[in-house]
Structure 1
Amino acid sequence: MDGLPLPGTRYALATATPPALIRRSWARCAQWADDLPDDPVALGRGDLDARHEQHASMLRAAQPEIDTLASLVASASSLVLLADASGVILQATGNTDFLRRADRVALRPGVSWAEHHRGTNAIGTALAEAAPLCVHGAEHFLPRNQILSCHAAPIRSPRGDILGVLDISGDAQRLHAYALGLATLCARQVANRLMLHAGPRCQQLVFHQQAGMLETADRGLLLIEDGRVVGANDAALALLRTDWRRLLDQPVERWLPNWRALPASPASLRGHDGQALFALLRQPAEPHAGTPVWTRARADTPAPPKPLDPATLATAQPARAPAVRTDLLPPLDPALETRFTRSRRALDAGLAVLLQGETGAGKEVYARHLHQASRWHAGPLVAVNCGALPDTLIEAELFGYEAGAYTGARRQGARGRLREADGGILFLDEIGDMPLTLQTRLLRVLQERTVQPLGAGRAVPVEFGLVSASNRDLAAMVETGAFRADLYYRLQDCRVDLPPLRSRADLRAHVCTTLRACAAPAAPPTLDDGALAQLARYPWPGNYRQLQAVLRGLALFHPPGSLIRVGDLPEEIQAFRPATAHQAQDASSSSLTAQRPDIAAHATLRSQQSQQISEALARHGGNISRAARDLGIHRSTLHRHLARPGMPGPINR
């Protein structure tokens, strides 16, 4: 090859005087040349959807810029692309004709353009160099990509971490001199929008040397929490003549001594070095002062009911539960849809539903969804934890009692939970902990649909739907005599086994969705690939309850919009090592992600691609043709993948 030779390699740049960062990229790629894949490393639809959930905050923040850029570049036969921090393209839009041409070189969503996969290119090299850059024509390492002229700029979090890349790519026959500046400006706008969406935890300090620049992309922005800088944009670093390492988590006074006196409108301010600035301070909008963000009630959340007067308690009708909006409940696993429909029909038909699952597997959430979807939704959902009540009180709690029924009873008596559930649903949690003596009385109630309170001379008719739940093996308890067989069979007209959290097919997407919910209304942190892989690999013995607790902690103790790595996770999750060989391979990829970001995407995506191929072959009995059609690739491409070491062999070619 003619051009500038690369020392110690057989490669030479076609451009005689390439920029230094292009020379560095070619030197890196020359070392990996034999390992660069012939075919694009692409994610399946499900994995790409999970990436969209992982980077939902960046996607939302970037959408206005993507829409604006797409309208600008469409006439110039160009595309606008958004990629994540591992180089995977998340979104592509722009000129329709050039989209088709770009697809021939795999410039499309779901494909990794990391340097390890596509050689020198704007997306991958901007990530490697952590800087905006242009890669034009022959500057691309792979000849097939030299039809492109690409311009990319990193998008940074408020903590300075690279979250992704904004790229403008077009035909190499046309050098778009404006494109790099435009991509850089829009990437800064996206970073600014991420900061402005930080939410009610942070004050926002806006400053510049000119008052008229306080609403532009060049304004400095600081996020302040408890008087310390927890986030900044690159304009703030330039104005303060510092970097993220020296600025973050330091008192604001160190840089802007009199910042606390700033009003919400522009005012003059002196920097720590005497620099004259104009600044304003935006206070967080607190829905309820002094109330933690993560527990604030929404405006449309029903107020708690007022306590009843003791004199009216005995004769009061059972309170109807305020309607619980299903959109405020944690969503169910989509894999449970068929089981949920079946159990809802059973409940509507008067059958009892028994939920079995591990501790924290979401039995009460499932019961609440059932309540809202069933014919009993207008009535109350009365939940009783059978394992939390002392044996001496559980009978009175369930069946109620008349005034003076026993020593220590309340003067006005009590209705009991069974009568309170009339017209709604009775949810008996931990039913396996109910004493045998009460199991007999409960069975009679279920058969006769009447309740006789303690000390009462007559029974009271009741009508309710019944949902029970247990994390114990009730069938085994029946065998040992610890649970009545007749009650067991009466409770399980419709049995639903709730799978543990670790078995969710969409676990990665669920983790990201739950993290956003835990952080709301503040901007959520973003999980990097290594942290998300470790969270998805952890077995979660406490299931959804444990996951919620961990994610609440991550959202609380990390500034809005920050990046969470493996080292930021709780120690027991960091220390977890999988037992199986398949999990161990994933763990190796996760370790690479945490320790060597430059090769993280290569290891993780290659592992996912191999798994997709193995699953497709298994679905089609090893038939190459059918598996290739399922994967959306050509037979010859699948043959090349199968020739790699460690890949499964097909049964039927």
Structure 2
Amino acid sequence: MPPNARLPLDEIRRRFFAGQALPGQALPTDILRSWQRCRGLGLAAGSHGGERLSEAELRARREANADWLESARPALAGLFAQAHAQGLALVVADNRGWVLEQSGDIDFLNKAERLALTPGMDWSEASRGTNAIGTALAARDGARVRGAQHYLERNRSLSCAASPVFGPQGQLLGALDLSGASRKLGDAQWMLLQAARGQIESQLLEEAARGGWRLSLHADPRLLDGPAACQLVFSEDGRLLAANQGGLALCGLEPDAWQPRHFAALFGQSLEHWLSRNGEALGLLQAGPQRFSARLRPPARRVDAAIRSRPLAPPRPAPAALDGMADSLFASALKLLEADIPVLIQGETGTGKDRLARALHAASSRRAAPFVAINCAAIPEGLIEAELFGYQPGSYTGASRQGSKGKLREADGGVLFLDEIGDMPPNLQARLLRALQDREVTPLGGGPARRIDIRLICATHRDLRARVADGGFRADLYYRLCHYPLALPPLRERGDAAAIAQAMLDGMGAAKRGIYMSPELARAIRGYRWPGNLRELSNLLATLLALADDGAALGLAHLPAALREDMAAQGHAVEDSAIADLLRRCGGNASAAARALGISRSTLYRRLGKAAK
């Protein structure tokens, strides 16, 4: 074949699904990588996708995303007007690919209804294959998918373009999509989509900047107010609160991977020093090897002195990073937290109890206040009391000369997370109970009692009722904490483990590097019981990514030898009893269960038949 000859797309599809090699440049790189991810998950090209959310579930998702959607209204209104005038549909999805809203051209909307591109439908890659919404979310980058580039046959009449939307701490919020006839969806529409995304992200950053100092950076001082400038927002003590995409890159942060940063660490001088020399005037700042023109603006509004230095995190919905956890569990936990009822999370080691606690804080009304965590099992028994309650100077040998506030007072106004509460020493349990009941703390060594206002989240892998029965945990503290215990299920009970692994890989940046799972690895992940749960899976994936070259197809050969042996001992397959359980959880839908297992429906029936004999 001549090097410049282009294969018809139908022939490319035939070769790909037959497992044959494709010539170079046969497909755009992002489309090929998406196809490879979908094939790794065992998704069939003839699939019809997922089910529709109930009205109550859709309403809950809209409520979870209400804050950023409200900020996006002006940009969405302008984009809707353009879409309607050009015969296109505008679709808004959340960060998991669930369609929240749809509007635009009536004729196309009728077609979209037939293709299930409507509110309440799941358009993630794991459900709908390669499509603009799901692929943009997976790759954390814009995506354009035309006709038969869609992975599923039923979607080949669609042409779509989508762009992810990020919050001011780099968190993935959702995606905007324009869909319509291929001839109507060109570069001009793509630019409209990107402009709307930029307008939304600028508005969210503006709202986050109202209580902080806003730093603008650019090599050219004339462009400090333009969209290309790096924008960073700092609290008055110099902690980074928010940033635009350029600002995140300057700080070495990937989208959806926020970490604390400080003005002094970034620029070699404190925020206070900059203000003393430059005030609000134009100045120069050095960030590593780069030199910028800079301008620092004061907060748009002053916040109360008691919370002035607290990070002002923007509202956000329940994150996709909770990896297969039921939305209803998260919603229940959030309602308890907002009602000032202790949240008790129970679950096996590695199920993500700490991640759930942090996500609850980030989604709560106290997201701008501190989140203070302490592991009750990791601190020596002789020190945990001082860690929790603080101490006066000289209270004990080795104590700091300045004393300590303690974790309970550090969490004042915010959320305290007591991890492994079941391992708290018995003598400390009584003191914690009194502090929770009286809402005040007295430090070790005496001193006045201090009032505290905290919301409490506790977590344990232990059976607290059994601990109460054997005298290891106080009954009165148990009943103070155990209003409505929430059980976090292990990974093996969260549905398709390979789909969860793929979502975790996407969050780690695998899609951008073109790294994807092979079908054999996906089957092995589904068949393994994961005794270390999400922690074990997450650690494995992070290690595989660190070792893999860009464009690699992760297979069994990439796994550590010990893990391959463990998987081999389990036969690289799910036990028949687990298959029957999965079929029950799929409501008896054999096609859905077979798809989750990466096997054909006939194979599923054959194995169920053997188990019944």
TM-score by length of 2: 0.52
Q: Determine the structure 1 residue equivalent to 2:33.
A: 24
Deviation of 1:167 after TM superposition, in Å, equals: 1.4
Q: Determine the structure 2 residue equivalent to 1:77.
A: 87
Give, in whole Å, the separation in 1 of the partners of 2:317 and 2:363: 10
- The structure 1 residue matched to 2:299, chosen from 275, 279, 283, is 283
- The structure 1 residue matched to 2:64, chosen from 54, 66, 69, is 54
**2:111 is equivalent to residue 101 of structure 1:** yes
Deviation of 1:169 after TM superposition, in Å, equals: 1.4
- Alpha-carbon spacing, 1:232–1:91, altered in 2? closer, same or farther (3 Å): same
Give, in whole Å, the separation in 2 of the partners of 1:201 and 1:276: 24
Percentage of pairs with the same residue: 25
Map 1:461-610 to 2 at 5 A: 523-529=314-320, 530=322, 533-536=328-331, 544-546=339-341, 571=419, 575=460, 588-589=493-494, 596=501, 598=503
Structure 2, unmatched stretches of 5+, are 1-9, 345-356, 372-415, 420-456, 464-483, 507-585, 594-613
**2:257 is equivalent to residue 255 of structure 1:** no
- The structure 1 residue matched to 2:285, chosen from 256, 259, 270, is 270
Q: State the AA in 2 paired with 1:545.
A: D
1:113·1:124 contact (CA, 8 Å) conserved in 2? yes
1:534·1:573 contact (CA, 8 Å) conserved in 2? no
Q: State the AA in 2 paired with 1:65.
A: A
Deviation of 1:125 after TM superposition, in Å, equals: 0.8
Q: State the AA in 1 paired with 2:118.
A: R
Q: Determine the structure 2 residue equivalent to 1:644.
A: 590
- Alpha-carbon spacing, 1:95–1:8, altered in 2? closer, same or farther (3 Å): closer
Give, in whole Å, the separation in 1 of the partners of 2:307 and 2:211: 11
Deviations 1:371-409 (A, max 9, x none): xxxxxxxxxxxxxxxxxxxxxxxxxxxxxxxxxxxxxxx
Give, in whole Å, the separation in 2 of the partners of 1:150 and 1:140: 10
TM-score by length of 1: 0.49
Q: Determine the structure 1 residue equivalent to 2:246.
A: 235
1:135·1:150 contact (CA, 8 Å) conserved in 2? yes
1:122·1:167 contact (CA, 8 Å) conserved in 2? yes
1:207·1:280 contact (CA, 8 Å) conserved in 2? no
Deviations 1:271-324 (A, max 9, x none): 223513132323252254346799xxxxxxxxxxxxxxxxxxxxxxxxxxxxxx
Deviation of 1:48 after TM superposition, in Å, equals: 0.8
2:93·2:100 contact (CA, 8 Å) conserved in 1? yes
Give, in whole Å, the separation in 1 of the partners of 2:248 and 2:335: 41
Deviation of 1:73 after TM superposition, in Å, equals: 2.0
1:121·1:141 contact (CA, 8 Å) conserved in 2? yes
Deviation of 1:186 after TM superposition, in Å, equals: 2.2
- The structure 2 residue matched to 1:129, chosen from 118, 122, 139, is 139
1:78·1:95 contact (CA, 8 Å) conserved in 2? yes
Deviations 1:488-513 (A, max 9, x none): xxxxxxxxxxxxxxxxxxxxxxxxxx
Give, in whole Å, the separation in 1 of the partners of 2:26 and 2:300: 51
2:313·2:368 contact (CA, 8 Å) conserved in 1? no
**2:62 is equivalent to residue 38 of structure 1:** no
- Alpha-carbon spacing, 1:94–1:22, altered in 2? closer, same or farther (3 Å): same
Give, in whole Å, the separation in 2 of the partners of 1:29 and 1:183: 26
Structure 1, unmatched stretches of 5+, are 295-518, 563-567, 602-639, 648-653
Q: State the AA in 2 paired with 1:235.
A: G
Give, in whole Å, the separation in 1 of the partners of 2:214 and 2:175: 25
Map 1:368-387 to 2 at 5 A: none
Q: Determine the structure 1 residue equivalent to 2:406.
A: none
Give, in whole Å, the separation in 2 of the partners of 1:27 and 1:141: 10
Most deviating of 69-78 and 105-114: 69-78
2:172·2:256 contact (CA, 8 Å) conserved in 1? no
How many residues end up aligned between the 2 structures? Answer: 380
Q: State the AA in 2 paired with 1:527.
A: A
Q: Determine the structure 2 residue equivalent to 1:396.
A: none
Deviation of 1:126 after TM superposition, in Å, equals: 1.0
Partner secondary structure for residue 57 of structure 1 = helix
- Higher CA-based Rg: 1
1:118·1:142 contact (CA, 8 Å) conserved in 2? yes
Map 1:366-515 to 2 at 5 A: none
2:316·2:362 contact (CA, 8 Å) conserved in 1? no
Give, in whole Å, the separation in 2 of the partners of 1:560 and 1:525: 15
- The structure 2 residue matched to 1:152, chosen from 162, 180, 192, is 162
1:220·1:233 contact (CA, 8 Å) conserved in 2? yes
Q: Determine the structure 1 residue equivalent to 2:201.
A: 191
